[in-house]
Amino acid sequence: MLRFVVQEHRSRRPHFDFRLEKNGVFKSWAVPKGIPDEPDVKRLAVQVDDHDLAFGDFEGEIPRGDYGAGTISIWDKGSYDPESWSERKIVFTLHGERSAGWFHLIRFTKGRPNDWFFIKLPDSN
């Protein structure tokens, strides 16, 4: 079972950290406006460095002066099912308490290479 976690990160620039387990690490994105909760809403997701899987349970304070300084709390977590994963597009289903359903992460075709669209899709029922 693959895990995901969403951590609320109250830092100099508050945002949410979205993490998907893959190949022994959490692939990670900073999402300034939070996880989309309505179909077809596009949110900016900026890919950041991979994180150790142990960080998925972290809640607490990162001291000022350290990378990622601020307060972190778990906003949601659960499992996910990947449908496809490429350098340009990730398709998956989240199974969390607050974040559930079918999503895409799509890398911008122009602009900064770490910028992605995070989109919730209508249920496939």
Distant-in-sequence, close-in-space partners of 64: CB < 8 Å, separation ≥ 6: none
Is 42 a member of any domain?
yes
Is 60 a member of any domain?
yes
- Residue 125's pLDDT is 46
Residue 58, φ and ψ in degrees, nearest 5: -75, 130
Is 107 a member of any domain?
yes
Residue ranges of the chain with pLDDT lower than 50? 125
Is 55 a member of any domain?
yes
Is 80 a member of any domain?
yes
Q: Which of 77, 93, 74 is nearest to 85 (CA)?
A: 93
Task: Return the ∠ at Cα 25 (arms to 21 and 30), rounded to 5°.
Answer: 70
Euclidean distance between CA atoms 92 and 90, whole angstroms: 7
Euclidean distance between CA atoms 86 and 107, whole angstroms: 10
Q: Count CB neighbours of 49 within 10 A.
A: 10
**pTM assigned to the model:** 0.91
Is 36 a member of any domain?
yes
Count of structural domains, the chain:
1
**Is the C-alpha dihedral spanning 21, 107, 29, 52 positive or negative?**
positive
Any idea how long the chain is? Answer: 125
Q: Which of 17, 15, 23, 22 is nearest to 5 (CA)?
A: 17
Max CA separation in the chain (angstroms): 48
Is 125 a member of any domain?
no
Expressed as residue numbers, the domain containing 90 is 2-120
